[in-house]
Amino acid sequence: MLASLSSQAVEWEANWIWEKTRFTDPNTWVAFRKNVSLDHVPANTKAYISADTKYWLWINGELVVFEGSYTGGPSPVKASPRVDYFPIASNKYYDEVDISDYLQEGKNTIAALVWYYGDNGQKGTHISSNKGGFIFQADVGGIKILTNNTWKVKTHPAFAKKVTKKSPYRIAAWNVDYDARLAMGDWTEQGWVQQVFDDSTWQSAHGHLIPPRAPFYKLFPSEIPILHDYGLSNCSNYTQDQFPFVSDGKTIRCKLDFNKNFTPYFDIEANANEVIHINSNMRLNTIETTYTTRQGRQQFESYSWSNGRIINFKIPKGVIVHGLKYRWTGVGQTPGHFSSDDPWLNRIWQMAENTLYICARDNFMDTPDRERGLWIGDVADQASYLFYSMDQPGRDLLKKAIKVTLAFSDTETGIFAGLAPGRFRELPAQSLQFIDQGIWHYYFNTGDIETLKFAYPYVHRYLTLWGLRENGLATFRSGAWKWTDWGPQDTIDYDVIQNALYYSALKAAKNMALALGDETHLSFYDSRISSIKRAYQQQYWQDGFFSSQPDKYKDDRANAIAILFGLAEPSQYQQIVDNVLIPNHYSSPHFEWMVYNAMAIAGRHRDALVRMKTRYAKQVNNPALSTLAEYLPSGGTENHAWNAPSTVLSQFIAGIAPTSVAWEEYEIKPNMAHMKRVNQLVPSVKGDIDFMIERSDTQIDITLVSPSDTTAILGIPKRYFNISSIVFNDESIWQAGRMQEQMLGIEFIGQDKDFINFKIAPGQWKIRSFK
C-alpha cells in the first residue's frame, strides 16, 4: 500500500435504503419521502447524503440539491491488480449540504428522487455498486433524521427502465423515457415532493447496511461542492413574451447563448398520448428524451443532462407551448477573464474557457458528448488554463482527478492508467505529462501539501519503470497504447517526445520531494536529469532542430516541448522556431498550446499568435461556435477538453504567472505583441488578480488589484519607447533610470533589456509610465 486516503469522521447511524428487492434493475428511478417534526431549527444544520447513483433533494417542496452525488471514485476497496475492462469494487463519496434554510418549525417533508444507473459506461467514469442505494443523515438540534425503514419508497412509475442506449454506448447515464400518464403529480403543487402528498400507499423503505458495508463500502467526503445551479433560463430565440404559441409539428430549435451542459424543460398544454422528443444539436451527443403527455397543462424537466448550442424540441402539431427553458449546471464558476483590443483573441480565450467548463462535471472529461472520460493527458492540458479561469471548485475537481487516478493505480506494477477509475489502460505519454502539468502544477498553484503527500509515492514508483540506455537517454515505454497525439502519425517523433516528457516528470518529482522535505530519491532524479539533458543534446540536436531521424522527423511537438521543459538551450530557440514551429503544423490541440508557449518563451509572441490565428481560424471565425473542437482545423467533438490556446494569452501576453507556491509571489511581465490594451483577471487561490495595461506612443497605463498575502513582481515593458518617468498612485517615484522617492509598498528591483521591475505589495495600484 503506497498511500492512503483519509475520510472525514462522520459517525454513520443512517442505513442505506431502497425498495425491498433482490436485484436492482439498471436505469431505475426511485422516490423517497420522510416527514419529521421539529421544535426549532438551528443554524448551520448539515446533512450528509450519498446515492448510487444520482439524487435530487427537496425539503418542503423546495429544491435543495439538483443532481447530487459525484461518480468516479474515490478509492478501491482493497489493493488489487488492475485489468482493463474489469472495474474493481469502489468506496463512495458523500455530499455535505447545509439544509438550515429549507427547514421550518413544525412539520417538514424531505423528498428525494434517486437514479440508479446500473452501468459503468465504457470509459471508466463510474463503478456501480450493482445495487441501488440512498443514505441521508442529519442532526437538527438533537433530532436525528436518518434513512431507515421509517422512510417511504416507491419506484417512480413514469420513468421507463427499458431504454435503448444510443451508439456508441460509452457513457454510464441513460436516455429518459417519461410517461406523464403515470406521473405522481410531478412539477405540481400536489406532487410527491410536496407536504400535502399522501404517501400512505407507499411501501416502507428497506433499511439495510449501516456504513461501511458492501456493496457501498466506506464513505468519503466529496472533493467538490454540489453543482452550481444557474436556474431555469429562456432560450435566446424564445423569450418569455413569445409564449404561448401553438406547435406546428416542426422541430423547434431552441438556441442557447453558448454551448452548455443543460437539462431541458417545457411547459405545455396537450391531449393525452402525444409524444415529445428532445435532443441537442451535437452530432455525437448520445442523450435524448422521450415524453408521453397526459391530458391538460403540464411541466417537465429531463434530469439526464446533455450539452449543446441548440435544444431540439419535437412537439406534435396542435400542442400549446407555454414555455421552453433549460437549466445550466456546472462545477463552480468561471470568474477568470481576458480581453484586449483584438476581438479575435478575446473570442478564442472565451471559447477555450467555455470548453474547459463544459468538460468539468463529475470529473474533468475529454468531452461531454460521446465519452465523458477522465483521460489524464486531457486533464493535464486543462490544468494549464484552469487556474486562469475557474474558482475553487475547479481546483478541487483537479484534486479529485489526481487522487482518483492514483488511488486506482495497479498496486503490483506501480502503473497508473490514463482513464480512471473504472478502466485500466496505461498511456505513458499521458502519465508523464500528468505528473508535471497535472500533479505538480496543481500543487504549485494551490499549495495543497496533503494532496502532494498522497501523490508523491505513486509518482516516484512510476518513474522507476524506465531505465537508461547506454547513450544516456531513457528507454522507451509503449504501455498499453503508445498514443501521443492525434496529429499525422507519420510525423510524430515518439522517442524524442517521450524522453522530454520523462525529463519533465523527473524534474517535477524532484520538486515534489524537495517540497515534502524528502531527500530519499534526490540522487536518482539528479543523475537521470543530467544524463537525459546531456544525451538529448548529443543524440537529437541536428544543427537547427531536435530529431531522432532528421530525414524523417521535424516534429513541432517534440521541438516545442524541448523549449518548454528546458532541454533546449536559449541559443537554439530561434532556429527551432524558424525551422520547425513556424512552418510545421502537425500537432493536434493536445500539443498545440504547448507550441504557442514555447514560441513565447523564445520571445516570438507575435509569431505564436499568427500561428494560433492560422490553426484555429476555421473555428473562431464561425460565429455559430462557442467551444473548441477535437481536431485542427476542426472535426470530432465540438467541445474537447485539451484545447488550451488561451494559456499563452494569460501567461505570456498578459504575462501573469506564479513564481512561488500558491501565488504568494507572482510576476506580471506583459508582452502585448500588436495590441494596445490587455486585461486579465486571474482567480488565484489567494484571491482575484485584476490587471490591465494600455499603451500609446508616449504613455503606458497599468491598473492592478493585487490580493492580500501576495507579492507582485511587475515588469513595465521598455520596448515601446524610452521611459523617462513612472508614477505610482499619482506619486512620481522613478525618473531618469532610477528611484527618486521611496513609497510604501513599492520596491525597485532592477531592470533588464525588456522590463523595469518593481516589487509591489497587495492593494490597488494605478501606474503610469511616460516617454
**What is the mean pLDDT for each group of 10 consecutive residues in the chain (771 residues)?**
54 96 94 96 95 98 97 90 92 97 97 96 92 97 96 98 86 97 97 98 93 95 97 97 98 98 98 98 94 98 98 98 98 98 98 98 94 95 97 98 96 92 95 98 98 98 98 97 96 98 98 98 98 98 97 98 98 98 98 98 98 98 98 96 97 98 98 97 98 97 98 97 95 88 93 96 98 94
What's the pLDDT at 8?
A: 55
The amino acid at residue 139 is D
What length is written for the chain? 771
What's the pLDDT at 84?
A: 92
Instruction: Output the pTM of the full model.
Output: 0.97
CA angle 529, 534, 540 (to 5 degrees): 115
Cell of 602: 523564445
Neighbours of 741 (CB within 10 A): 11
The backbone torsions φ and ψ at residue 268, rounded to the nearest 5 degrees and listed phi first, read -135, 170
What's the pLDDT at 22?
A: 85
Q: Give me the residues paired with residue 290 across strands.
A: 177, 277
SS3 content of the chain, % helix, strand, coil (to 5): 25, 30, 45
What's the pLDDT at 199?
A: 97
What is the edge-to-edge ordering of all strands in the sheet holding 687-695?
Answer: 337-340, 677-684, 687-695, 699-706, 763-770, 725-728, 731-735, 738-739
CA dist., res. 72 & res. 180, Å (int): 32
List Cβ neighbours of 203 (8 Å cut-off, separation of 6 or more).
19, 20, 152, 153, 154
CA dist., res. 307 & res. 244, Å (int): 26
What's the pLDDT at 35?
A: 98
What's the pLDDT at 334?
A: 98
